[in-house]
Each structure stands twice: as C-alpha cells, then as structure tokens.
Amino acid sequence: MSRSASGAPAPADTVRIRFQAAASRKVAPAHDPVDQARARPAWPIPRGGRARRTLTRNPAALTGLAFLCAILATACLAPVLYPDDPLGMVGRPLIWPGQDAEFPLGTDSLGRDVAAGLVHGARVSLLVGIAATVVGLALGLAVGAPAGYFGGWIDRVLVRLIEIFQAVPAFILLVVVVAIAQPSVTTITIAIGLVTWPTIARLVRAEFRAIREKEFVMAARSVGYGHLRIILREILPNALPPIIVTASVMVASAILMESALAFMGLGDPNVVSWGSMIGAGREHLRTAWYLTALPGVVIVFTVLALNLLGDGLNDALNPRIAAERRI
C-alpha cells in the first residue's frame, strides 16, 4: 500500500475530499433565518396532511366519500326526518313512487313508507357493516400479526385456527351462528365479524411475513425496539394500504351479508334494513318492482362508494404512490 496512514492524519489524496465536505457543510443553509421562517414551524407535520391532500385530489374517491357522507347524514337524521316507526302501516298499500306526494317513494304491500324504510335501514346497514368490519379487523390483526411476525410454532397454530374457520363456507356458518344465537343487530354484527376475520388474518399474516424480512425491521431491532413496537409502528403502517382497501370492501360485503340474512328472514325482526325490504318486496317483483329496486340501488351505490373510497385511501396512504401521482 503506497498510502501509509494510521487513520488520524489525513493522507494527501483525501485532503481534497475532506475540504469539499467542509465547504459543502458551510454552504448548507442550516441556520438561514429566512429559510427557517419559511419552513413550516410545527414539526412533525401530521402524516394525515399529505394523505388528505392526495385524497382530495382524487375525484373518484371524493365521489365515494361524498355519497357515504350523505348516507351517514341520512342515517343520523333518520329520527328527525321520519320520527315514526318505519315498520308502522301509514298509508294505502302499493302506492307507486310519485303517485302520492306524502309518500314520494311509495308504500309497500303492507302500506309502510318506503322512504322511511330506506332512511332507517341505512342506520342498521351501516352500523352492521362498520361494526362487523371492526370486529373482523380486530380479530384478523390479533391473529394475523403474531402469526406473520413470529413465525414458527405460533404461526402454525394460528394458521390452523384460520383454516378451521375457512374450511366452513362463510355464509353457511353465518346462517348457523345467527340461527342459534337469535337474530338481533348485535348477534348479526358479531357473527359477520366471526366469518370474515380469516380473510383479514391471512392478508395481515402475508404482509407481516414479507415485511419482517425487510432491512428496516432488522434496523429497528438493532436500536432496541421491542416486538410490540416493531409490530405496531414499523410493520403495521407498511402493511396498512392493502388492509384498509380490504376493510373498505369488507364493510361493503358485511352490508351485503346482512342484507342476505334479512332477505332470508334471518334479520333482526324489530328493525328495518335494506335487505329485509328487498326480502319483503320479492313477492311483488313483477307488479311492484320498485320495492326491491330502490333498496337494491341504495346498496349498490353504497358498496360502490366504499370501494371507490378504499382505492383512494390506498393511493393516499402510500407515500410512494402519492409522490408519483403528484408529478
């Protein structure tokens, strides 16, 4: 080696590089008051800020969000808009929409107001959809995250558990659970959560398995982070985009499941839901098709809105995709 240096004194041919490094250090406007003033003062900027900007520039997601907000507002205002029981018989049966100004969306075969049913049905459908998804997400994360993160025998045990639930057709299991546990909004919600969590668990497990091998997880371990911190703060945020998309679709499918249950007469008999309205209207499908079509259309649009929102969230929550969109 021609360059004989013991580390401390700089050999001649690196002096130039050192000098450059020193020069660039001086140039760096680290304490430029103007720059500092222009820089955003509050730090850290909440991550939601960037995500929100991306989301608000996505027209499809905004449409979905607007529709969902409208449905949500309607659901919240139902007691104000239609204070009476939506299951009460209020008029002549089978009035077509537009025939009677008092019942703008008509009445069903028992003389119940369709508009009141739709508004009150939104409460039940959304409640069941969202609550069941929360149940499914909680179960899915609780099982999928440790299975994927720890691997080994924990993974094998938890995967068997997932497979037990997956081996039974979801809807059959749902019908059985609801039939045994007496249909009510609470039991239906829990039952839907119980049959949907394996999807989330498998997704979470796959994501965690892939991400735990990433070098930043090793780096996180090298600075002394515990398992819980790595799971919640390092891996989960990176696994979130597909989970959120799946969750928004799960809300939609939970609404559909509740509708299907209600259509089969396994819904909560004390409340009106979109599914039970379709179920009640099917006997008049040829003569009064609006009885099934109106709640059907509402379900279709709600599910579509949830899917649009899910896609939008996926783009917004992934900083890399978000950055590409901005260019």
Partner 1 sequence: MTVLLDVRDLSISFPNARPVQELSFTIEEGETLAIVGESGSGKSLTALALLRLLPRTAQMSAGRVRFAGRDLLALSEREFRKLRGRDLAMIFQEPMTALNPVLPIGAQVAEVLRLHLGLSRKAAARRAVEVLDLVRIPDPARRATAYPHQLSGGQRQRVMIAIAVAAHPSLLVADEPTTALDVTIQAQILDLLAQLRRDLSMALLLITHDLGVVAEWADRVIALYAGRKVEEARPEQLLGTPRHPYTQGLMAASPRQRVGYHYTDGPLIEIPGHIGSAAGEAGCPFAPRCGFTEPSCRTSMPPLLAREEGRLVACPVTAAREISHGHAVGL
Near partner 1 in 149-178, by CB under 8 A: 152
Q: Are 198 and 189 in contact (CB under 8 A)?
A: no
- Name the burial class of residue 20, with classes exposed (0-12), middle (13-18) and buried (19+) by CB atoms within 10 angstroms of its CB: exposed
Q: How far is the CB of 80 from partner 1 (least distance, A)?
A: 41
Compute the distance between CA of residue 251 and CA of residue 199 in angstroms, rounded to an integer. Answer: 13
Q: How far is the CB of 176 from partner 1 (least distance, A)?
A: 41
Out of 98, 104, 226, 265, which residue is the one contacting partner 1 (CB under 8 A)? 226
Near partner 1 in 299-318, by CB under 8 A: 318
Give CB contacts under 8 A, 24+ apart, made by 272-275: 272/86, 272/87, 272/117, 272/120, 272/121, 272/124, 273/121, 273/124, 273/125, 273/128, 274/118, 274/121, 274/122, 274/124, 274/125, 274/298, 274/299, 275/125, 275/299
Out of 12, 45, 80, 167, which residue is the one contacting partner 1 (CB under 8 A)? 45
The answer for 25, left when phi > 0, alpha when psi is -120 to 50, beta otherwise, is alpha
Compute the distance between CA of residue 140 and CA of residue 44 in angstroms, rounded to an integer. Answer: 31
Amino acid 25 reads: R
Q: How far is the CB of 221 from partner 1 (least distance, A)?
A: 6
**Judged by CB, which is closer to partner 1: 112, or 212?**
212
Q: Does 325 bind partner 1 (CB under 8 A)?
A: no
Q: Binding string, 238-257, against partner 1, x = CB under 8 A?
A: x-x-----------------
Number of Cα atoms under 13 Å in the Cβ half of residue 17 = 5
Out of 7, 34, 180, 327, which residue is the one contacting partner 1 (CB under 8 A)? 7
Q: Assign 193 to helix, strand or coil.
A: helix
**Judged by CB, which is closer to partner 1: 233, or 282?**
233
**Judged by CB, which is closer to partner 1: 15, or 181?**
15
Out of 52, 53, 156, 229, which residue is the one contacting partner 1 (CB under 8 A)? 229
Compute the distance between CA of residue 116 and CA of residue 15 in angstroms, rounded to an integer. Answer: 82
Q: Binding string, 203-222, against partner 1, x = CB under 8 A?
A: -----------xxx-xxxxx
Applying CB under 8 A, the residues found at the interface with partner 1 are: 1-7, 10-11, 14, 17-18, 20-21, 25, 28-30, 32, 35-36, 39-40, 43-45, 47, 152, 214-216, 218-226, 229, 233-234, 237-238, 240, 318-320, 323
